[in-house]
Structure 1
Amino acid sequence: MRYQESIEESVAFVRQVMPLMARHSAPMNPISFAVWYEYVSGVNPRLKEAIDTALKDKIVLDAAATELLYRRFVADLDADSANRLALDFHRIMADAVQSAAYTGTQADSYGSSLQQFSKELDADAAVPATLDAIDRVLIETLQMQTSMVALGKRLEDSHKEIESLRAEVVRVRQDAMVDGLTGLANRRSFDLDMDNWLGQFVPGVPGPSVLMIDIDYFKKVNDTYGHLFGDKVIRTVAEVLKRNVKGQDIAARYGGEEFAVLLPKTQLEGARALAENIRVAVAGCRIRRHDNEELVGHITVSLGVACYLKGESAQNFIGRADKALYASKTQGRNRVTAHGIDPMP
């Protein structure tokens, strides 16, 4: 975790951050808060050195300068780290808001007590000096209440912004893992899932197996019917995959007209049978053209199947399925080949 301080420490840091942000006219947003929080907490030495140098040189740390510091010293994170960062900010700001609310309540109580004390002494003309002193304290207390209310509001607003930032980070991360045309996982997502499952491989447990799938004569389909129809073909194959995978199985668009399916707990024969079901289902599809409503059939796929061998790399594992796919292509297409087994049908 990037931030390991306690709640008390984080609240103390926030109390240092807010005046600094006000002094330097920093905007009340998550970027500005991140920069100044990392500065006062000392978690980012390179950022602290840069800010200290800027302050020494009397450089104004306005919104533009703050964003530059953020991009240079804070934002060099991958999506997972950025998500953790947002979670940490979420926790920090929630604690700070709670602390500000508590302090405001204490100030309210303090002010009420003094007001009551002033009323009790109001009839005693012999103590004007005491009343004057109390009035001054009341004024100061009211100013403190106003200040704390404003602080609480600013912290609440920043808290909401950070929640929004976190949601945006999650959305971007999800988008980066999904193929936009089909809604399947994309290649990056598939490769990460593959590495994860191979890392959990236990000898003697079924699987994993992988299918590599390619649409037959796709270039010809595009040339004959156009790219919009080609996209419909790709989406149709994707829908067939979605209907045929289950549980922990992972279907992905691997690139262009190529797809991949990871079957974490399926042995070779089960994977081969699933591949055959997919082949038959695609061959039975009829796809309507957008220009003249004609139904087009004879769309087929070729498939290659492989089952993981203990100790091999993901690249070699997929490579064997690719070799099986190539065998299906060279032996007539619209068929399934399992690595090391004669092709079907």
Structure 2
Amino acid sequence: MTGQVQTTLRSPEAFSLARRAVEEMEAAHVWPTPLNFELWVHYLGEPEGPLGQEMRRLLADGTVFSEGTSEMLAAEYLPRGRLSEEIRDAGAVLNRELSTVSEAIAKAQQSQAAYGQTLAGASAHLETASEPTALLGVVSKLTKATTQVQAENATLERRLESSTKEVARLREHLEQVRRDAMTDALTNLANRKAFDEELLRACDEADKKRQPMTLAVLDIDHFKRFNDTWGHQTGDQVLRYVASVIGRVSKAPRVAARYGGEEFAVIFPGESAAVVEAALNSIRVEIGARALRRRSTNDELGAVTISAGLAQRQPGESGADLLGRADEALYASKRAGRNKVTNGERLAEAA
């Protein structure tokens, strides 16, 4: 939660913001679920923030706020507070582990120092002792001190082993939290935040290696009409199906993401526009060849088609400019009747 929204919710304006959120949801025909309410509160509380801008774009496009759409927005724009909480909890556990280990080490050091003093004293006694009784006393002290040091060392080893396992568990947990924060909940593809970061990294890598890199944008044709006809749950089913095909064809080092409501994007590192065009047509044909059925009623939904556009990155080109050219190619596919793949490089040549 941003500071601006947090401040508003702790002031008398909170009631006004809550009422506006409910009114806006009703006007947009959005169910006031707890997740939608949280989204609208953030949207209205900070309309110029990243979530506010994305919400305005979706509303202007007439996007239906299905459960999947809301989950996508929440995963992308709302996880930071929860992620911070996870990190704080992990940090507290790690601090406890470090304190315990530090105490064990300090105790072991004290035992080692005491053992050293015992050895020094024993050495002095051995030099002067001549009676068997005196020698037995020295040996007894050494045996007792050695046993104590061994016990302290064993305790320290157990503590270190336990802490090592706990730190490994925390590392695995935080890595899972990080993956969840970067994954679209509905489709299990990368979310927009993860895509934006990966696009920057891929552009830098393409410049360093002086290799090609191509970006593709894909969109489900007439998805709003499909949602209006069959309902949001069936729409989510279609999104998952399309994402499964895109994800299967886009294995690493390719990166596939759900970029918007029914829009997807794929980064193709080291691949030319011609290679990517063939891959996109393979995805398009496979998706369109299957007649889907509604799970709840087994009604035939008919074929789902996608349109796609692609652009090959020019040396030094920014990710935003590359995405803009891929979007232009996508719109060209839409204008040409949909269910098509448009190579942006040919658009540039024709212009």
Fold in common (TM above 0.5): yes
Q: What is the SS of the residue equivalent to 2:257?
A: strand
Q: What is the SS of the residue equivalent to 1:201?
A: helix
Q: Which whole-Å CA distance do the structure 2 matches of 1:35 and 1:327 have between them?
A: 62
Q: Which whole-Å CA distance do the structure 2 matches of 1:212 and 1:242 have between them?
A: 13
Cα 1:151–1:206 shift into 2, 3 Å:
closer
Structure possessing the higher relative contact order (Cα contacts under 8 Å, 6 or more residues apart): 2
Q: What is the SS of the residue equivalent to 2:303?
A: coil
Question: Aligned residue pairs: how many?
Answer: 241
Q: Which whole-Å CA distance do the structure 2 matches of 1:205 and 1:151 have between them?
A: 52
State the match for 2:218 in structure 1.
213
The 5 Å alignment of 1:282-321 reads 282-321=287-326
State the match for 2:253 in structure 1.
248
Asked if the contact 1:205/1:265 (under 8 Å) is kept, the reply is no
AA in 2 matched with 1:164: R
State the match for 1:174 in structure 2.
179
Cα 1:252–1:153 shift into 2, 3 Å:
same
Q: Which whole-Å CA distance do the structure 1 matches of 2:249 and 2:310 have between them?
A: 15
Greater share of helix residues, 1 or 2?
Answer: 2
AA in 1 matched with 2:94: P
AA in 1 matched with 2:156: L
Cα 1:136–1:29 shift into 2, 3 Å:
farther
Q: What is the SS of the residue equivalent to 1:236?
A: helix
1:246 to partner: Cα distance: 5.2
Asked if the contact 2:329/2:347 (under 8 Å) is kept, the reply is no
AA in 1 matched with 2:179: Q
Q: What is the SS of the residue equivalent to 1:131?
A: helix
Deviations 1:8-44 (A, max 9, x none): xxxxxxxxxxxxxxxxxxxx9532344799xx9xxxx
1:234 aligns with 2:239: yes
Q: What is the SS of the residue equivalent to 2:253?
A: coil
Asked if the contact 1:209/1:267 (under 8 Å) is kept, the reply is yes
The 5 Å alignment of 1:27-66 reads 30-34=94-98
State the match for 1:131 in structure 2.
136
Cα 1:29–1:146 shift into 2, 3 Å:
farther
Give the fraction of aligned pairs with identical amino acids, expressed as a percent.
Answer: 37
1:205 to partner: Cα distance: 6.2
1:264 aligns with 2:269: yes
Runs of 5+ consecutive residues of structure 2 not aligned to the other structure: 1-91, 123-128
Deviations 1:89-128 (A, max 9, x none): xxxx9xx9xxx8xx99xx9xx99xx9xxxxxx9xx9x532
Indicate which of 182, 188, 197 corresponds to 2:202.
197
Cα 1:161–1:204 shift into 2, 3 Å:
closer
Cα 1:187–1:295 shift into 2, 3 Å:
same
Structural RMSD (CA): 3.6
State the match for 1:149 in structure 2.
154
1:211 to partner: Cα distance: 0.9
Cα 1:140–1:204 shift into 2, 3 Å:
closer
Runs of 5+ consecutive residues of structure 1 not aligned to the other structure: 1-27, 41-92, 115-120
Provide the TM-score with structure 1 as the length reference. Answer: 0.60
Asked if the contact 1:187/1:253 (under 8 Å) is kept, the reply is yes
1:276 to partner: Cα distance: 2.5
1:213 to partner: Cα distance: 0.7
Provide the TM-score with structure 2 as the length reference. Answer: 0.59
